[in-house]
Chains A and B, each alone.
Chain A
Amino acid sequence: MAAPKKGRRPAGGQSRPGRALALILIAMVALTGGMFWSGHTTPRLGIDLAGGTSITLKAKAEPGQESAVNETNMNTAVGIIERRVNGLGVSEAEVQTQGAENIIVNIPRGTNEKQAREQVGTTAQLYFRPVLAVAAATPQTAPSATPSGKPSGSPKPSASASSGTTVGEKSATPTATASPQGRALTEALKAPSPTPTASSSAKPKATGTPQATPKPDPATAALQQKFATLNCLDPKARTAAGQGVKSTEPTVACGKNAIGQWEKYLLGPAEVDGKDVDKAKAGLDQRTGQWIVDMEFTDAGSKKFQSITSKLSQQAEPQNQFAIVLDGEVVSAPRVQTTLSASAQISGSFTQQSAQDLGNVLSYGALPLAFQTQSVDTVTAALGGDQLQAGLIAGAIGLGLVIIYLVAYYRGLSLIAILSLGVSALLTYVLMALLGPAIGFALNLPAVCGAIVAIGITADSFIVYFERIRDELREGRTLRPAVERAWPRARRTILVSDFVSFLAAAVLFIVTVGKVQGFAFTLGLTTLLDIVVVFLFTKPVMTLLARTKFFGNGHAWSGLDPKRLGAKPPLRRTRRTHAPVDTKEA
C-alpha cells in the first residue's frame, strides 16, 4: 500500500474480470453460508442497543506500586470479577480488559444491576483462615445443631473424621473418606511430597476428641446457625455467605472439593492475608511427578504463617487445615503437617490447570489494585431498541441520499456504484455477524455510526475511479481503454487515501477505550472492505460493462457519453468554447 507505484501495465492486458468476480462471489457465498451455518445471523448487539448494564472500571495502583497495573494482574482481576458476577447467577456476563488499565463488565439486561455494581468494584480479598468445620453443601436436615461436639468418627485412621469441632457437627458425611477434603488441592502439604514431618502430627491428634474447645470459640450460636443452614448449592447463598464479614471474625464459606462437589466450611478469623504472599507458582514435583504449588511469603507473612502452621499442625482433622479464601469462597483447604514459615509447598491431586489456577490466586488473589468505577450505563431494552432503530433509519436515509445523488450525477454509471455499495454492505453485515462469536465483537451505537460514515468513504473510491475514467474519455479515448488506463491511477489514489483512513482507525483502536474503540473498529473494517470491493468487484464489473453497448457506446444515460462529458472531438478545435450546449450533462 505504501509508496504509490507508477508502473502502468499495458492497457487491456490486465483485465480478467471473470476471475476477480468469481473470487468475490465465492467469498460472499462462503461467508454468508458460514453465517447461516454457525447460526449467528445477526450481529451481537452491545449493551447500549440490546439493553443491559455496562460498567467500566479503572485499575488504580496503590502509591509506590504503580507497576502493579500490568497485564497479568489485569487478567487475574478479570477472572476474579467474572467469578463474582457469575456468582450473582448472571448468565453471559462478559468481563474483559480494555486498554492497559480498564475492565469492562457487560451485564445483559434482566439482572440486578445494583448488586452487580457493588460486587464488581471492590478489591478482591484473599485470606488464610483456619478451618473449624467442614460439612456437605446443603443444610443438615437432622440438624446436629446441638454442639454435641463429640467426634463420632474420630478413630478412622486416615484422617477421615472431619467433625469434632465446636460447632455441633455430625460426623463427616461428605468430606472424610480417603479423598482429600477441600478440593483438588486439598491434600495439601501432605503426605507424599516434600513436607517432611508429614503424617506424624496428623494421626496422633486424630484420636483425641479434645480440641473441640481449644479455639476459644466465638462460634456463637448465630454463626453455627448460619453454618447449619447454609446451602452451598445456591449461588446467591454462596455469594452472601462471606459478605460483610471482617477478616478478624469467624465466618462461613463454600468451596469445591477434589471431585468438584460443593462443601461448606466454618472458618476462624483470618491469620494471614493475600498481601503476605510474596509469590506462588505451580510446578512439577520431580520426585513424584505430581503438580504442586510453591509459595513464598514476605517477611511479615512468614512469621504469621509460621504461627498458624504450628498451631494447625497440632490439630486433628479437619482442624489441621487452613482455607485459602478468595472473596468469601474457599479456593483450597490444604492440611498442614508441620510448622512452616517462609516457604511452603502445597501438593495433592492437582492437574496442571488447577495448580496454575491456585498459583495465580495466591499470587494475585488480593490484588494490589483497587478498582474505581468510571461509568455505569444502564440501558433499558426500549431505549436500546429505539437507538438501534434510529441508527438503522439514519443509515438507510444516508444510503438513500447517496444513491439519489449518485444516480443524478453519474446516471448509468451509478448502477456500478450502487451494486458495489450493496456488496460492501452485505460483506460488512456478514462479517459483523461472524465476528460476534469469533472475537466478541458487539455492535454498539458508535459502531453503527462508524458504518454509516463509511458509506461516504466507500462511495469516494468509486468517485475517484469514475472521475478518472471520465477524464480519460475527455481525452478522446473510447471507453474500453479509458477504463483500463484510468484504473492504475485511481487504484493508487484509493490505496493511498484508504491507507490514511485505516491508519487513523487502527491508531484509534489501539490507543483508545470504550465507545471510541467500537467506532474505530467498524471504520477500520469497512475501509479494508472498501479496498476488497473496489479491487474485486467495482473494477471487474466496470471492465465487463465497458463491453456492453449501452456503456461502451456512451449512451446518453450511461453517464459516459463522450459528447456530454465534453470529450475532445477527433479533430482539433481552434477555439475553446463553442460547446456550452452539448457539454451539458447529467
Chain B
Amino acid sequence: MSKLGNLGARLHRGEVGYDFIGKRKIWYGLSILITITAIVALAVRGLNMGIEFQGGAVFTTPKTDVSVSQAQTYAEEASGHDAIVQQLGNGSLRIQVGGLDTDKSDQVRAELAKDLNVPESKIAAELVGPSWGEQIATKAWTGLGVFMILVVIYLAIAFEWRMAVAALVALIHDLTITVGIYSLVGFEVTVGTVIGLLTILGYSLYDTVVVFDSLKEQTKDITKQTRYTYSELANRSINGTLVRSINTTVVALLPVAGLLFIGGGVLGAGMLNDISLSLFVGLAAGAYSSIFIATPLVADLKEREPSIKALRKRVLAKRASAAAKGESLDAADDLSSEAAVVGPRAGRRGTQEHRG
C-alpha cells in the first residue's frame, strides 16, 4: 500500500512512468492474440448456453438428504431428458433439466416432489421457453447497438471522433475477451451473464472516459508548445491517472468479488454469481483496455493529423538542435530513454504551461 502511495507521488513528479504509448505495439499484439484466441474459442467451442436460452427448467429443492446422483436419476426418469444436479451451499439441490417445455415441467416438478419427498410448493421452479433467451439476447444486441451509436456520438461531440473510435474499439475488445473467457472456461451463459456483459459497456467506457478527459486537458494547447509530442503527452495522462485507474478498478472489483464469493459460496449458483462473474472478467478487461489499448490508439490516430505531425517535427527538430548545442533538456530524455522518464522540472513546467 505504501508503495502504491509513493508511486502516486512519483508518478506525479514524473520520476517514474511507464511508456505505454511507446510500447503500444506489444500491447496491441497481446490484445490481438487474446482476441483471436477468444474468437477461435468461440468458433470451436461455442458457448455453454444456459437453459434460459435453450428452454428447460431449473428446480431448486429445499435442503434434502437425497444424493446428487440419486436426484439426477429421479429427474431424468421424471422428465425423460438429461439433468444436471448441483448441491448448493445450504444443502439444497439445483436440478437443471434441458429441453423441457413449460407445459411439461409442471408434471416433472410434481414427480420430483414425490420422489424427493418434499411438498411441491417447496420446490422453486424456473421454467423457460426456448425463445425467451433468444428474445433477451436480441434485445441485448439492440441495446448494445443503440448504446454504441449514442456513445460514439457523445464522445465525438464532447471529445473528438478519434477518441470515440478508440473507445469503441476498446469496448469491443473488452466484450470479446469476456465472451472468449466464457467460451474457454465453459462458464454457463445465463441472463445474469448478459446483464453483466451489458454493464461492462458502461463501466469499460467510464474508465476510458476518465483517461480521455485527462488527455484532453493535457493536450489542450498542444500546438502552441514545442516541448512534447502528442504521444508523449498521452503517455503522461495515462501515467497521471494511473493511480486513479488502479484505485477505481480495485474499488469496483471489491464489491463484485463480494458478490462472486457470496454467490458461489452460499447459493452455489444463480443470478448473483452469473452477474458478478462476467462483471469481474469484464471490469478487469476494461481497466486494461483503457490504458493499453484505447489511449495508444488515440495517439496513433492523432499522429496522422497534419498539425500533430508538424508538431512532432518541430519538437524533434528542437531537440536535435538542443542536442547539437550540447544542452541536455530533460524532455530529450523522453525520446532517448525507453522508459519515457520525464524530469521533474520539465514535468512541472509542462503541466503549468498547459493549464494556462
Q: Determine the chain A residues whose CB is within 8 A of the CB of B122 once the complex forms.
A: 380, 382
Q: Determine the chain A residues whose CB is within 8 A of the CB of B2 once the complex forms.
A: 584-586
Which segment, of B72-80, B222-230, B258-266, B292-300, faces chain A? B258-266
Q: A467-B243, A586-B2 are in contact. Are A380 and B121 (CB under 8 A)?
A: yes
The answer, yes or no, to whether B307 is at the interface (CB within 8 Å) is no
The answer, yes or no, to whether A564 is at the interface (CB within 8 Å) is yes
B94 to chain A, nearest CB (A): 10
Residue from the list A117, A387, A448, A516 in contact with B198, Cβ < 8 A: A516
Within 8 A of B (CB), among A479-534: 489, 492-493, 496-501, 503-505, 507-508, 511-516, 519-520, 523
The answer, yes or no, to whether A221 is at the interface (CB within 8 Å) is no
Q: A395-B258, A463-B244 are in contact. Are A505 and B202 (CB under 8 A)?
A: yes
Check B205 against A504 for contact (C-beta < 8 Å). Answer: yes
Check B12 against A497 for contact (C-beta < 8 Å). Answer: no
B9 to chain A, nearest CB (A): 3
Check B136 against A446 for contact (C-beta < 8 Å). Answer: no
Which segment, of A241-249, A328-336, A349-357, A405-413, faces chain B? A405-413
A108 to chain B, nearest CB (A): 13
Check B124 against A456 for contact (C-beta < 8 Å). Answer: no
Question: How far apart sit A470 and B9, CA to CA, in the bound complex (Å)?
Answer: 9
Within 8 A of B (CB), among A565-585: 565-566, 568, 572-573, 576-577, 580, 583-585
Check A508 against B198 for contact (C-beta < 8 Å). Answer: yes
Q: Determine the chain A residues whose CB is within 8 A of the CB of B121 once the complex forms.
A: 380
The answer, yes or no, to whether B37 is at the interface (CB within 8 Å) is no
Question: How far apart sit A224 and B139, CA to CA, in the bound complex (Å)?
Answer: 52
Residue from the list B90, B198, B263 in contact with A504, Cβ < 8 A: B198
The answer, yes or no, to whether A259 is at the interface (CB within 8 Å) is no
Which segment, of B23-31, B39-47, B270-278, B308-316, faces chain A? B270-278
Q: Determine the chain A residues whose CB is within 8 A of the CB of B127 once the complex forms.
A: 375-378
Q: Determine the chain A residues whose CB is within 8 A of the CB of B272 once the complex forms.
A: 387, 390-391, 394, 445, 448-449
Question: How far apart sit A516 and B275, CA to CA, in the bound complex (Å)?
Answer: 11
Within 8 A of B (CB), among A382-407: 382-383, 386-387, 390-391, 393-402, 405-406
Check B147 against A503 for contact (C-beta < 8 Å). Answer: yes
B238 to chain A, nearest CB (A): 14
Which segment, of B177-185, B187-195, B319-327, faces chain A? B187-195
Contact with B along A454-473 (1 / 0, CB 8 A): 01110110011001001100
Q: A375-B128, A387-B272 are in contact. Are A513 and B151 (CB under 8 A)?
A: no
Q: Find the B residue at minimum CB distance from A566.
A: B9
A132 to chain B, nearest CB (A): 36
The answer, yes or no, to whether B257 is at the interface (CB within 8 Å) is yes
Q: Determine the chain A residues whose CB is within 8 A of the CB of B344 once the complex forms.
A: 573, 576
Within 8 A of A (CB), among B117-143: 121-129, 131-132, 135-136, 139-140, 142-143
B178 to chain A, nearest CB (A): 15
The answer, yes or no, to whether A225 is at the interface (CB within 8 Å) is no
Q: A390-B272, A402-B255, A456-B255 are in contact. Are A496 and B140 (CB under 8 A)?
A: no
The dominant DSSP class at the B interface is helix
Residue from the list B132, B202, B216 in contact with A500, Cβ < 8 A: B202
Check A504 against B201 for contact (C-beta < 8 Å). Answer: yes
A250 to chain B, nearest CB (A): 30
Residue from the list A383, A405, A449 in contact with B254, Cβ < 8 A: A405
Q: Find the B residue at minimum CB distance from A373.
A: B102
Check A474 against B12 for contact (C-beta < 8 Å). Answer: yes
A407 to chain B, nearest CB (A): 11
Q: Determine the chain A residues whose CB is within 8 A of the CB of B8 once the complex forms.
A: 467, 470, 565-566, 585
Question: How far apart sit A501 and B151, CA to CA, in the bound complex (Å)?
Answer: 10
The answer, yes or no, to whether A114 is at the interface (CB within 8 Å) is yes
Q: Determine the chain B residues whose CB is within 8 A of the CB of A114 once the complex forms.
A: 106
Question: How far apart sit A400 and B202, CA to CA, in the bound complex (Å)?
Answer: 24
B129 to chain A, nearest CB (A): 5
The answer, yes or no, to whether A539 is at the interface (CB within 8 Å) is no
Q: Determine the chain A residues whose CB is within 8 A of the CB of B21 once the complex forms.
A: none
Question: How far apart sit A408 and B217, CA to CA, in the bound complex (Å)?
Answer: 30
Residue from the list B209, B248, B254 in contact with A398, Cβ < 8 A: B254
Q: A463-B247, A501-B206 are in contact. Are A376 and B102 (CB under 8 A)?
A: yes
The answer, yes or no, to whether A556 is at the interface (CB within 8 Å) is no
Q: How many chain B residues have a CB neighbour from A under 8 Å?
A: 92
Question: How far apart sit A397 and B266, CA to CA, in the bound complex (Å)?
Answer: 13
Q: Determine the chain B residues whose CB is within 8 A of the CB of A501 once the complex forms.
A: 202-203, 205-206
Q: Determine the chain B residues whose CB is within 8 A of the CB of A400 once the complex forms.
A: 258
Check B131 against A58 for contact (C-beta < 8 Å). Answer: yes
Check A515 against B271 for contact (C-beta < 8 Å). Answer: yes
Check B10 against A583 for contact (C-beta < 8 Å). Answer: yes
Q: Determine the chain B residues whose CB is within 8 A of the CB of A584 once the complex forms.
A: 2, 5-6
Within 8 A of B (CB), among A535-586: 564-566, 568, 572-573, 576-577, 580, 583-586
Contact with B along A360-382 (1 / 0, CB 8 A): 00000000000011111111101
Question: How far apart sit A508 and B194, CA to CA, in the bound complex (Å)?
Answer: 11
Check A375 against B267 for contact (C-beta < 8 Å). Answer: no
Q: Find the B residue at minimum CB distance from A512.
A: B139
Residue from the list A408, A463, A470, A499 in contact with B248, Cβ < 8 A: A463
Contact with B along A1-12 (1 / 0, CB 8 A): 011100000000
Q: Determine the chain A residues whose CB is within 8 A of the CB of B240 once the complex forms.
A: 471
Check B154 against A456 for contact (C-beta < 8 Å). Answer: no
Q: A398-B254, A402-B254, A516-B140 are in contact. Are A56 and B201 (CB under 8 A)?
A: no
Question: How far apart sit A413 and B14, CA to CA, in the bound complex (Å)?
Answer: 24
Check B158 against A4 for contact (C-beta < 8 Å). Answer: yes
Question: How far apart sit A585 and B250, CA to CA, in the bound complex (Å)?
Answer: 19
Q: Determine the chain B residues whose CB is within 8 A of the CB of A499 once the complex forms.
A: 154
The answer, yes or no, to whether B146 is at the interface (CB within 8 Å) is yes
Q: Find the A residue at minimum CB distance from B134.
A: A374
Residue from the list A376, A475, A508, A573 in contact with B143, Cβ < 8 A: A508
CB-CB nearest 4 A-B residue pairs: A398-B255, A566-B9, A504-B202, A456-B252
Contacts A380-B124, A457-B203 aside, 14 further interface pairs with beta carbons under 8 A come to A102-B135, A386-B90, A387-B271, A446-B192, A456-B251, A456-B252, A463-B248, A463-B251, A464-B248, A474-B9, A504-B201, A511-B139, A513-B139, A583-B9
Would you give 11 A-B contacts (Cβ < 8 Å), ordered by A? Answer: A375-B102, A376-B127, A401-B254, A405-B251, A406-B251, A457-B203, A463-B248, A501-B203, A511-B142, A515-B271, A516-B195
A interface, CB within 8 angstroms of B: 2-4, 48, 56, 58, 99, 102, 114, 117, 372-380, 382-383, 386-387, 390-391, 393-402, 405-406, 408-409, 445-446, 448-449, 452-453, 455-457, 459-460, 463-464, 467, 470-471, 474-475, 489, 492-493, 496-501, 503-505, 507-508, 511-516, 519-520, 523, 564-566, 568, 572-573, 576-577, 580, 583-586
